[in-house]
Each structure stands twice: as C-alpha cells, then as structure tokens.
C-alpha cells in the first residue's frame, strides 16, 4: 500500500511565529494573553481561556503571516501549506462562531458548517488523523440549542478549582487545614 502523505510542517518555525505574535500583537485589556512561551515546558498547562484566545487571535495571525500567499514574511513553501492553512482557518472560524455570547441559529449553523469543513480538510490533508473528540464537537451545536451560549456550560470555574488543587503539596504529610481552605477558596466566575 502507498504511504499516506501529509504536508511537512516546520513546527519550530510555526511555534516561533506564534511566540512573535504573542509578543507583538496588542489586545484589548479584557483579553488575557496566554504565556509568551506557550508550547514550551516552562509555560505549564494552558487553561481553556488561554487556548481560546490563542486560536481566536494569535495562531491565525501567525499562520497567515507564515503561510498566507502574498505575505511579505511568508515561508518558502507557501503553496504546499495552503491545505494546512485552510484547515486551521476553518477551525478558527468555528471557534469564533461557537464562542459568541448570544449565538443565533445562523451562528450555530455556521459553526457546524465551519467545523465540518475543518474535519473534511483534516481528512484531505492529514489522512488517517481522526479521533473520537472530532465527532463529539458536532454535539456542541445541539447543546447551544438547549442551553444557549457555550458560556453557560463551559467549566472555567471548575478548571480554576482544579488548578488550585494541583498546587496543593502532596507529599503525604499532614498539613495546616486553614492553609488548605484558603488555597481552595471558591470565587464566582467572571462574566
């Protein structure tokens, strides 16, 4: 059988361009930037909001500057990367429609269509790359119909609590309960 061919992506160059976008792009005050060293072990584990901002703003700008036809700082193999760029842009468009505060039926339908096109691009340009969560994302359309905006059912508050639990020392020694309670103090999610 013939081997499946994927476009060759220089991940070091892509990550470098994302780091440059994180450093240079100015965002409004209400948007929290992901760590500048995202993708490296020193950055730690990203939270869902970091991923959202990364894929709504910084990754598209970095990829368009790297693989966009006509970009003054484009890579040498722009034509070969058109499929990978298209795949990433469909995912970005789906995220933008999904994350609206008051999604209309048109927004939800556009989300589902962009995500479907993202999966089709994955199958075309990265054959053999399919995981069960790709299917599960299509159900977000149904949840948005039932519960409204994804802001109503995503778990930032729970994620913050898990982050606090991860910072608790776990060396099997009895500690100060007052200190433990202050570490896991629950704060209401921001709106």
Neighbours of 116 (CB within 10 A): 14
In the chain the first and final C-alpha atoms are separated, in Å, by 54
Lowest mean per-residue pLDDT among 17-26, 57-66, 172-181: 172-181
Q: Summarize pLDDT for 128-141 with one digit per residue, the tens.
A: 777 778 888 888 88
Lookup: tokens for 101: 């505060």
Q: How far apart are CA 12 and CA 38, in angstroms?
A: 12
The pTM of the full predicted model, rounded to 2 decimals, is 0.73
Residue with tokens 């970091």: 50
Residue with tokens 């709504």: 56
Q: Summarize pLDDT for 62-101 with one digit per residue, the tens.
A: 999 999 988 888 888 888 888 899 999 999 999 999 888 8
Lookup: tokens for 82: 């058109």
């Amino acid at each position: 059988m013939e081997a499946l061919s994927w476009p060759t992506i220089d991940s070091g160059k892509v990550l470098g361009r994302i780091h440059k976008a994180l450093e240079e792009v100015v965002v409004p005050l209400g948007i929290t930037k992901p760590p500048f060293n995202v993708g490296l072990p020193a950055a730690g584990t990203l939270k869902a909001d970091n991923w959202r901002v990364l894929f709504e703003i910084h990754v598209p700008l970095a990829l368009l500057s790297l693989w966009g036809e006509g970009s003054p700082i484009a890579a040498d193999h722009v034509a070969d990367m058109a499929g990978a760029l298209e795949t990433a842009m469909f995912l970005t468009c789906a995220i933008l429609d999904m994350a609206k505060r008051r999604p209309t039926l048109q927004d939800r339908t556009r989300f589902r269509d962009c995500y479907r096109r993202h999966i089709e691009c994955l199958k075309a340009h990265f054959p053999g790359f399919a995981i069960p969560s790709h299917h599960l994302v299509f159900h977000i359309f149904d949840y948005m119909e039932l519960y409204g905006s994804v802001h109503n059912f995503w778990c930032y508050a729970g994620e913050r609590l898990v982050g606090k639990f991860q910072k608790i020392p776990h060396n099997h020694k009895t500690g100060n309960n007052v200190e433990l309670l202050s570490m896991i103090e629950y704060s209401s999610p921001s709106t």
